[in-house]
Structure 1
Amino acid sequence: METVYYGGASNNDAALCRNNDSCRKINIYLVHRFFFVCNFGAVLTDLIVYQSCTVSLKLNETLCQLLHTNSSSQEAAAIEAKVQPYASIVLMYAFLLRTVLPSLLSLFLGPWSDKYGRKPLLVSGYMGFSLKFLILSILCNWTVNPWFMQVAFIPLAILGGSCNLMLASICYISDIVKENDRVWQLAWLNASLLFGIVLGTFTGPVIYKQYGYTAVFGTATLFCTLTLLYVLFYVPESIKNCPKSSLQSLFDFSLVKELISTCVKKRDGFNRYVAWCCILTLLLTIFAMEGDATIGFLFVREYFGWDISSYANYTGATVILSIVGTLFAVKLLANLLGISDAALAILSFMSLLGSAIVKSFAWQPWHMYLSGGIGLFGGVPGPILRAILSKSVPPQDVGKVFSLTTSLETLTPLGAVPLYTLIYKNYMPPVYYPCPAWLVSVALYSIAILLVMCIARRTARSNNTSYVQLISESE
């Protein structure tokens, strides 16, 4: 077996933790606990649509109530046609606000966390979500212009948002998990995220119908605050003996320079071709999924007359299928049957491609559920590609590479959301059939399959290469 040496600083404590099964199990349990937090995105979308109707467009409140009480009626459909284009613009700017700054911060946070630890990123991320939901729970007590809702996303953006949390969590897992276990643990991380979506999807509409918007966002505030406290007091730092940090050390532009050099410089121990193919494939996946999520509720509400409860049932069912499919694929197909990571990724992209085709040609409500069944393995690409990526870079550079990756992932929807919104707005169903927006996803997943084939070909050449860390480059 050929051995490739690479230089650079190391983290001995993280290495010791990788070899300590009890330490690894405890920390993995903790890091997955972070994501059992409610996701009430559909309720927020519903609130913005309603406020756009009553406040921005100044339609009769009784008519706007039809969106809640009789959303399948012709009157409600006519109101939707007027309100949705405006509401989609509000949602797009909310998305821009919560993604642009975190994506820029991510370029500093990854290299910074390699030296000063992952836990501060987790704490700041959940603090941002707690403040976001707290502000929303206050604002929804009044009938305000939906543009005022953007205020809630300001602290979230400043503190890093979901970009920050994903970066910290992936790096945390890479710190403490052996290479051959990473796919499984990243799959559990993905399943935990999806579980939060299911929990929020099913409970959000129920809480709203019984107690209103304030109770929904108040519940989310409580969950996020409890998770913040849990992380603060019970989650151990994966990088030990960290030096003292300051705000000034965070905004050190030499960190960005080092990050760029790490990700583009050709050297032993860094499979640049595989790494960048993984990054590009992840970006295509995020682009398609964010676009689908942007128009999903608007599509079924306009085309099938679904209300928030109907959409919650559909989303919950598809997410549960995705959780089962992800864990089944990774545990049985990969671990027990020995199917390669690349083959599993291709299978998952074919699953996503088939699901997008069914959505595009859907004309009955049950077709949406059929698309969810076909997309059973839709949650697999993320864990698989991130595991391949983590194996293609030296351990001490994981934070830098994933910092760039999460930053690009966060910026990618900046193109996806406007594109899908524009296509949907100008080619709204049922006038245009099949729905062109879903066909964009079909094209993106097709390109992703070709990229994974390239990854498989390159890794097949270098599968006998391992990386052994030197004590220091100078020695």
Structure 2
Amino acid sequence: MEPGTSGWRRYIMVEPPIMMLLFAETMTGAVLTDLIVYQSCTVSLKLNETLCQLLHTNSSSQEAAAIEAKVQPYASIVLMYAFLLRTVLPSLLSLFLGPWSDKYGRKPLLVSGYMGFSLKFLILSILCNWTVNPWFMQVAFIPLAILGGSCNLMLASICYISDIVKENDRVWQLAWLNASLLFGIVLGTFTGPVIYKQYGYTAVFGTATLFCTLTLLYVLFYVPESIKNCPKSSLQSLFDFSLVKELISTCVKKRDGFNRYVAWCCILTLLLTIFAMEGDATIGFLFVREYFGWDISSYANYTGATVILSIVGTLFAVKLLANLLGISDAALAILSFMSLLGSAIVKSFAWQPWHMYLSGGIGLFGGVPGPILRAILSKSVPPQDVGKVFSLTTSLETLTPLGAVPLYTLIYKNYMPPVYYPCPAWLVSVALYSIAILLVMCIARRTARSNNTSYVQLISESE
């Protein structure tokens, strides 16, 4: 498909599938956590089933809080290993799949990714019918990891957009992709608890399986390949280590047109941002469940509200502040990190449920750093190397949660609220966002000296 696809068709290629995927993922996220907590209580720790039922029937009671204090440390370890299982292999594969898809096409990555999620939810919908050890739930993540996971789905989706959309339109198109993603999160957030309350675990995971299967069929039969005249591929061509060597050399070798200082400052700032966000997501439900006695529905209402605010804040910042008012990239990045910093501070010192909603309002611009930092990064890289830098960046972004999830889990496990106040886990995010602000200031200072580099989007044109 040639770059410059116009009209409404460009909005319905990869956006509807990613929206349905995030709908399924979000719909099952808190429900899966709840299932693992309950199975940890009844099977692993062998507590009385009647007591464990209090986690569902009276989660705000003192008895339930005492049970949570016993169960959550164990359940958090199970969740941590589930995350590691679905992250390690995809992060390594992304080093190969980015350059590979430039030659052999984006559609194979899309198909394999959605197939992996379909199998994951199918396995979960079967396993949840039995009272099994929560460690058996790890089986569902094996096909997802082998087939690429969410990391390579996002990589393929963004590259697909770069293939079919003109350079001048990519910023808005990527913003639309992000909005579609967040819209799926909102739908899943409010739908999951309703289905769970009415029909139970099987219905939730079964619904997710159905949506992911429909998404897979949509990609197979409607979404065309964006790379023209793709040669036939093989497993041997997938694992070509020369592609990885060239990619790394491109990102570290000093040369004309490559502002290595700015590029790596941008990459480091992106990694810090993802580290903090992944850590926050890991302990979010556990925190409000233990500290405020929230159930899945209460947490869904909070998550949905914060995501809606994030959609509004991101579109407002990109369309109005940046495009119409001409606020610089660095200034907008600093504003967004101050927003995230304030949100983390409020969470750490929260003692009333409404404080969590206040943190969501303060974090209005929390979705802005990613697009802005990628825009700055694109200005520091020669046009012919932009795609390679993006592949390495994506791989590092995927590896970053491998450190974030264990760290936040261990801090939360050993310093659980309400014994420790303020919550130390959120203070880690405060420190990371503070460092990110300093890095953006360094980027702004260096880019002010070198404005002669040409602007290109982070994703290069398909060769």
Task: Please confirm whether the aligned pair reaches a TM-score higher than 0.5, indicating the same fold.
Answer: yes
* Identity in percent: 98
C-alpha displacement of 1:328: 0.8
Counterpart contact for 2:24–2:212, Cα < 8 Å? no
1:198 paired residue number = 186
C-alpha displacement of 1:310: 0.5
After superposition, the Cα gap between the structure-2 partners of 1:75 and 1:469, relative to the gap in structure 1 and judged at 3 Å, is closer
Q: Do structure 1's residue 122 and structure 2's residue 85 form an aligned pair?
A: no
Matched residues in 2 for 1:300 and 1:474: separation?
Answer: 45
Of the three residues 23, 30, 39, the one matched with 1:35 is 23
Per-residue CA shift, 1:395-440, capped at 9, x if unaligned? 5544422221121111111111111111111111111111111111
C-alpha displacement of 1:467: 7.3
C-alpha displacement of 1:121: 1.1
2:306 paired residue number = 318
C-alpha displacement of 1:386: 2.2
- Bigger CA drift: 319-328 or 175-184? 175-184
After superposition, the Cα gap between the structure-2 partners of 1:457 and 1:310, relative to the gap in structure 1 and judged at 3 Å, is same
- Bigger CA drift: 258-267 or 148-157? 258-267
Higher relative contact order (CA 8 A, sep 6+): 1
| Structure 2 residue matching 1:317: 3-state secondary structure | helix
After superposition, the Cα gap between the structure-2 partners of 1:119 and 1:393, relative to the gap in structure 1 and judged at 3 Å, is farther
- Bigger CA drift: 288-297 or 186-195? 186-195
1:368 paired residue number = 356
Matched residues in 1 for 2:240 and 2:276: separation?
Answer: 34
After superposition, the Cα gap between the structure-2 partners of 1:267 and 1:66, relative to the gap in structure 1 and judged at 3 Å, is same
C-alpha displacement of 1:465: 2.6
Counterpart contact for 1:36–1:192, Cα < 8 Å? no
C-alpha displacement of 1:472: 16
2:276 paired residue number = 288
Counterpart contact for 2:162–2:460, Cα < 8 Å? no
Per-residue CA shift, 1:301-346, capped at 9, x if unaligned? 1110111110110011101101111111111111111111221111
- Bigger CA drift: 310-319 or 116-125? 116-125
After superposition, the Cα gap between the structure-2 partners of 1:184 and 1:32, relative to the gap in structure 1 and judged at 3 Å, is farther
After superposition, the Cα gap between the structure-2 partners of 1:344 and 1:138, relative to the gap in structure 1 and judged at 3 Å, is same
Matched residues in 1 for 2:322 and 2:21: separation?
Answer: 24
C-alpha displacement of 1:112: 0.8
Matched residues in 2 for 1:234 and 1:396: separation?
Answer: 31
- Bigger CA drift: 142-151 or 36-45? 36-45
Matched residues in 2 for 1:224 and 1:415: separation?
Answer: 29
C-alpha displacement of 1:474: 20
Per-residue CA shift, 1:360-414, capped at 9, x if unaligned? 0000000000000000000111122223334443455444222211211111111
Per-residue CA shift, 1:189-208, capped at 9, x if unaligned? 22222222211111111101
Matched residues in 2 for 1:469 and 1:224: separation?
Answer: 30
Matched residues in 2 for 1:468 and 1:305: separation?
Answer: 49
Counterpart contact for 1:51–1:143, Cα < 8 Å? yes
Counterpart contact for 1:31–1:169, Cα < 8 Å? no
C-alpha displacement of 1:186: 2.3
After superposition, the Cα gap between the structure-2 partners of 1:216 and 1:473, relative to the gap in structure 1 and judged at 3 Å, is closer
Counterpart contact for 1:128–1:157, Cα < 8 Å? yes
| Structure 2 residue matching 1:469: 3-state secondary structure | coil
Counterpart contact for 2:306–2:360, Cα < 8 Å? yes
C-alpha displacement of 1:172: 2.3
- Bigger CA drift: 274-283 or 99-108? 274-283
C-alpha displacement of 1:33: 9.3
After superposition, the Cα gap between the structure-2 partners of 1:376 and 1:285, relative to the gap in structure 1 and judged at 3 Å, is same
Q: Do structure 1's residue 65 and structure 2's residue 53 form an aligned pair?
A: yes
Counterpart contact for 2:162–2:461, Cα < 8 Å? no
Counterpart contact for 1:133–1:217, Cα < 8 Å? yes
Per-residue CA shift, 1:130-185, capped at 9, x if unaligned? 11111101111111100000000000000110111111122223334444443332
C-alpha displacement of 1:32: 9.9
Counterpart contact for 1:322–1:375, Cα < 8 Å? yes
Counterpart contact for 1:141–1:214, Cα < 8 Å? yes
Matched residues in 2 for 1:99 and 1:400: separation?
Answer: 21
Counterpart contact for 2:310–2:364, Cα < 8 Å? yes
Counterpart contact for 2:103–2:231, Cα < 8 Å? yes
TM-score normalised per structure 2: 0.91
Give the unaligned 5+ runs of structure 1: 1-29
| Structure 1 residue matching 2:125: 3-state secondary structure | helix
Counterpart contact for 2:22–2:188, Cα < 8 Å? no
After superposition, the Cα gap between the structure-2 partners of 1:239 and 1:267, relative to the gap in structure 1 and judged at 3 Å, is farther
Matched residues in 2 for 1:246 and 1:177: separation?
Answer: 28
Counterpart contact for 2:378–2:458, Cα < 8 Å? no
Matched residues in 1 for 2:300 and 2:119: separation?
Answer: 25
Per-residue CA shift, 1:46-96, capped at 9, x if unaligned? 111011111111111111111111100111001100000000000000000
After superposition, the Cα gap between the structure-2 partners of 1:90 and 1:426, relative to the gap in structure 1 and judged at 3 Å, is same
Counterpart contact for 1:39–1:196, Cα < 8 Å? no
Matched residues in 1 for 2:19 and 2:194: separation?
Answer: 29
Counterpart contact for 1:97–1:153, Cα < 8 Å? yes
| Structure 2 residue matching 1:465: 3-state secondary structure | coil
Counterpart contact for 1:334–1:341, Cα < 8 Å? yes
After superposition, the Cα gap between the structure-2 partners of 1:296 and 1:128, relative to the gap in structure 1 and judged at 3 Å, is same
After superposition, the Cα gap between the structure-2 partners of 1:206 and 1:36, relative to the gap in structure 1 and judged at 3 Å, is closer
After superposition, the Cα gap between the structure-2 partners of 1:144 and 1:38, relative to the gap in structure 1 and judged at 3 Å, is same
RMSD over aligned Cα atoms: 2.9
Counterpart contact for 1:114–1:396, Cα < 8 Å? no
Per-residue CA shift, 1:213-262, capped at 9, x if unaligned? 11101111111111111122222322222222111100111111111112
Give the unaligned 5+ runs of structure 2: 1-17
Counterpart contact for 2:265–2:439, Cα < 8 Å? yes
Of the three residues 148, 154, 172, the one matched with 1:160 is 148
Counterpart contact for 1:88–1:421, Cα < 8 Å? yes
| Structure 1 residue matching 2:456: 3-state secondary structure | strand
Matched residues in 2 for 1:237 and 1:53: separation?
Answer: 48
Matched residues in 1 for 2:261 and 2:189: separation?
Answer: 39
After superposition, the Cα gap between the structure-2 partners of 1:141 and 1:461, relative to the gap in structure 1 and judged at 3 Å, is same
